[in-house]
Amino acid sequence: MSGSGFHVHGPHDHAVEHAAHGNDGFSNNIAVMTAILATVGAAFGYLGGATQNDAALFKNNAAIDKTQAANSWNYYQAKSAKQNLAELAMTLPGVDPKRYEAEVARYKQEKEDIKKDAEKWEESSKEWNHKSDEAMHQHHQWALATTAEQIAISLAAITLLTRKKWMMGLAYGVAGVGVVLGVMAWLGGH
């Protein structure tokens, strides 16, 4: 609608307006079905968005833990370099090897602790990645369910325009598929 009061309606807008003013049971059923499908589709869309956000959060956590693992491995390498220098110093002529034995032993122990820490961070990163993959799979299931509901709404609009009862059956069938996909997405996440 523009400021001058000029209205532009699509063909389905006129049919919906006409049905609202009449006592047409067929049109009323389609209108109710469309409202229900829109509500179900909105719920599916919300749940799909939530699982996509979870997947992103889990992937972020995986990246943080992977960075922590890389930092730990870098620290491990630094200790290895110091241990190698201490071992080399033990072999130099005129140096008391006993002086460096304790350092070599200390570096070996520190490396073991650092290695365990790095492996813990790597495992945690793998777990977060797995959770992210699962959430993304569930997101795709919600997206399919939402799409089916949107298609059913479109079919309902076509049904209203064509007044073909078989088209209404098709809309109900697609809506049913969407609900089944939504139930599967729900069960997949719980």
Answer yes or no: is 1 within a domain.
no
Q: pLDDT-derived band of residue 4, with 50, 70 and 90 as boundaries?
A: low
96 conformational bin, left if phi > 0, alpha if psi -120 to 50, beta if neither: beta
Answer yes or no: is 5 within a domain.
no
Q: Convert the pLDDT of each residue in 22-61 to its tens digit.
A: 567 888 889 999 999 999 999 999 999 999 999 999 999 9
Dihedral of alpha carbons 94, 99, 104, 110, sign: negative
Alpha carbon distance 116, 170 (integer Å): 59
- Average pLDDT rounded to a whole number, residues 140-150: 96
Q: Which amino acid is at 140?
A: H
Between 10 and 145, residue with greater pLDDT = 145
Could you tell me the pTM of the whole model? 0.72
Tokens of 98: 């006993």
Q: Which pLDDT does position 1 carry in this prediction? A: 45
For 2-6, which contacts have Cβ atoms below 8 Å and span 24 or more sequence positions? none
Answer yes or no: is 59 within a domain.
yes
| Segments forming the whole domain that contains residue 184 | 36-188
> How many other C-beta atoms are found inside a 10 Å radius of the C-beta of residue 121?
20
Answer yes or no: is 47 within a domain.
yes
Answer yes or no: is 7 within a domain.
no
Instruction: Tell me the CA distances in angstroms from 130 to 51, 56, 59, 186, one per residue in order.
Output: 14, 12, 9, 18
Between 20 and 128, residue with greater pLDDT = 128
What does pLDDT average to over the chain? 89
Q: Which residues contact 143 (CB under 8 A, 6 or more apart)?
A: 48
Check: CB of residue 55 under 8 Å from CB of residue 143.
Answer: no
Answer yes or no: is 84 within a domain.
yes
Q: Which residues contact 8 (CB under 8 A, 6 or more apart)?
A: 1
Domain count of the chain?
1
Q: Convert the pLDDT of each residue in 57-93 to its tens digit.
A: 999 999 999 999 999 999 999 999 999 999 999 999 9
